[in-house]
Amino acid sequence: MNAVFGAIPILFRHPSVYGLSRITSSLYISNGEAANNKLFLYGNQITTVINVSVEVVNTYFPDIYYIHVPVTDCPTSPLYDFFDPVADKIHSVELNQGRTLVHCVAGVSRSAALCIAYLMKYHSMSLVNAHTWVRSCRPIIRPNNGFWQQLIQYEQKLFGNTSVKMVQSPLGVIPDLYEHEIRVMIAL
């Protein structure tokens, strides 16, 4: 769906790293700059904004509910503690016909990990499939290794097994689904 507010494109058919990237009909991801863009928020009918950062200060717009998840993009940050509450909130907003935007600073690590956790919990997606889906919507996502470990733990809790494992690579420990990229990068 291509929504337009005036002459400014709000949502593109193709993945965007500058505006809002649509994950589901009620869930979007972006960076902090886009999350403070009134045209993006109102043009995409965002009703709830979840700020997963300590660096970005939101501009508060009327009729939008704001939630702050003060987590740094550090592998030791306890993002796992927010997987269930944030997923539950996204689901609740959807049930009330609203739309949620999850953002961090760049829309790459923290916000992506929370969107992936939501898809695992409420869409019964495996971690590998949830990551593949979110990455198809926003190609620049790349949760840090600590968040990967927490997502693997969360998948184990939800489903009793895991679809991703951490493996040793020439660049250190990485999720196994990045092994091919690392091999190609090293070959270059």
Beta carbons of 53 and 36 less than 8 angstroms apart: no
Token pair belonging to 160 = 């009793």
CB-based contact 52:114 (threshold 8 Å): yes
Q: Could you say which of 74, 104, 115, 137 is catalytic?
A: 104
Q: What is the dihedral of CA 124, 47, 135, 131, to 10 degrees?
A: -30
Contact 110, 104 (CB under 8 A): yes
CA 97 to chain centre: 20
Closest of 136, 98, 95, 97 to residue 115, by C-alpha: 136
Is 104 a residue of the active site? yes
Distance between CA atoms of residues 151 and 157, nearest Å: 10
Copy the structure tokens of residue 33. Answer: 């700059």
Active site (catalytic) residues: 104
